[in-house]
């Protein structure tokens, strides 16, 4: 436990943190105001929050504009609707439309969805974790979703940070070369970071609520297919992918999701789709995954679980 003196020093350190938040949003009129209110209530507000309206057809733009007139650290960028849904790639392209407007140096870069809510100390608590661990490169909270539309369920593991809520230490963000504009971007960033010696962690006690269930806009089956393609392009080991797919078959609807993921992975392999990571990172990914599989077989816990 931290002493009172140590805790005060840490709090003073986090109060001086300068961070930038970028939120790619599309048709989030039902949720964006709650997200904005969560950010306004933070014990440490961002130096700048760029909300990128990616061609919304609802009232998203007018809702955000109302707050930009009141808070000078909230900025709005409007993009035209391309008419094509580019899951993964489109999100990263919208992110960079905001990122490229930043000026100055920030301690942290945050990618945040526009359909989440979180407690007032969410970011300060995360920055405290970064302060404690100089090698922590990417972090987030425990993301809760409602797959049945009613009950909140934790959909996060300790060793992976969900794409809805990513906080990057600036040095780590620069070291990994930023984000890859492709499906699977929120996995490849972590694998590159890990291969370069950074740590990745979700702090499950810091709750963040995601109101639009992941994949809802895409459709369940298509989302599983995209995950299979993305896993191949990230360099996943085929045995690990089979094990992952079998595990997914135990979730409702039974069998279908896991089978789609495995099938899509091997279709990508047959078509020799381009890998997103360089050979060094792919080797790291596969070596790590085989160690995890060996741990499961021997009954040992997987690192990070």
What does the pLDDT look like over 130-161, one tens digit per residue? 999 999 999 999 999 998 889 999 999 999 99
Residue 23's nearest CA partner among 110, 96, 112 is 112
Task: Give the integer Cα–Cα distance in Å for 166 and 42.
Answer: 16
Cis amide bond preceding 95, omega within 30 = no
β-pair partners for 48 = 20
Strand partners, 145: 153
Which one is predicted more confidently, 258 or 226? 258
Contact (CB, 8 A) for 141 and 207: yes
Task: Measure Cα distances from 57 to 33, 63, 68, 107 in Å.
Answer: 16, 13, 19, 34
Angle between helices 220-233 and 185-195 (to 10 degrees): 30
Calculate mean pLDDT across residues 224-232: 88
Q: Which two tokens stand for residue 250?
A: 């135990």
> What digits encode the pLDDT tens for the residues 27-81?
999 999 999 999 999 999 999 999 999 999 999 999 999 999 999 999 999 998 7
Question: What integer pLDDT is reported at residue 1 of this predicted model?
Answer: 37
Average pLDDT over residues 262-277: 90
Mean pLDDT score across all residues of the chain: 89
* pTM metric for this prediction: 0.86
Asked whether residue 20 carries a pLDDT value surpassing 50, the answer given is yes
DSSP letter, residue 82: -
- Asked if 44 contacts 119 with a C-beta cutoff of 8 angstroms, the reply is no
The 8 Å CB, 24+ separation contacts for 121-124 are 121/42, 121/43, 122/38, 122/42, 122/206, 122/208, 123/19, 123/42, 123/43, 123/44, 123/46, 123/167, 124/14, 124/42, 124/43, 124/44
Taking the chain, what is the end-to-end CA distance rounded to the nearest angstrom?
23
How is the chain split into domains, by residue range?
4-210, 220-298
Alpha helical stretches, state H, the chain = 4-15, 32-40, 60-68, 89-99, 122-132, 170-175, 185-195, 220-233, 238-248, 256-270, 279-298
Q: Is domain 4-210 classified as CATH 3.90.550.10?
A: yes
Beta strand segments in 72-225, E: 74-79, 108-112, 116-118, 136-145, 153-154, 165-169, 199-210
Among residues 193, 272, 195, 286, which one has the least CA distance to residue 241?
Answer: 286
Helices (H), 88-237: 89-99, 122-132, 170-175, 185-195, 220-233
Give the residue carrying structure tokens 């080991």.
237
22 membership: H or E segment, kind and range: strand 19-25
């Amino acid at each position: 436990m931290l002493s009172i003196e140590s805790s005060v020093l840490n709090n003073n350190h986090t109060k001086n943190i300068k961070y930038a938040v970028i939120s790619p949003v599309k048709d989030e009129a039902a949720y964006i105001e709650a997200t904005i209110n969560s950010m306004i209530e933070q014990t440490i507000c961002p130096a700048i929050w760029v909300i990128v309206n990616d061609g919304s057809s609802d009232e998203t733009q007018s809702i955000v504009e109302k707050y930009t007139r009141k808070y000078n650290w909230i900025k709005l960028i409007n993009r035209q609707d391309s008419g094509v849904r580019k899951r993964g790639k489109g999100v990263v392209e919208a992110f960079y439309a905001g990122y490229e407007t930043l000026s100055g140096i920030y301690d942290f870069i945050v990618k945040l969805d526009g359909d989440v809510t979180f407690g007032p100390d969410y970011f300060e608590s995360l920055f405290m974790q970064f302060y404690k661990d100089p090698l922590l490169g990417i972090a987030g909270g425990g993301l809760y979703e409602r797959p049945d539309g009613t009950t909140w369920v934790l959909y996060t593991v300790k060793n992976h940070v969900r794409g809805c809520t990513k906080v990057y230490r600036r040095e780590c963000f620069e070291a990994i070369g930023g984000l890859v504009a492709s499906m699977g971007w929120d996995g490849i960033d972590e694998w590159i970071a890990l291969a370069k010696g950074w740590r990745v962690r979700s702090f499950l006690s810091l709750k963040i609520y995601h109101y639009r269930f992941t994949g809802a806009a895409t459709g369940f089956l298509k989302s599983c297919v995209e995950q299979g393609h993305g896993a191949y392009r990230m360099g996943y080991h085929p045995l690990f992918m089979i094990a992952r797919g079998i595990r997914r078959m135990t979730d409702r609807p039974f069998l279908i999701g896991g089978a789609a993921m495995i099938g899509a992975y091997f279709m990508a392999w047959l078509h020799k789709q381009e890998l997103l990571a360089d050979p060094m990172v792919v080797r790291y990914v596969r070596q790590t995954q085989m160690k995890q599989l060996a741990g499961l077989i021997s009954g040992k816990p997987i690192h990070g679980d």
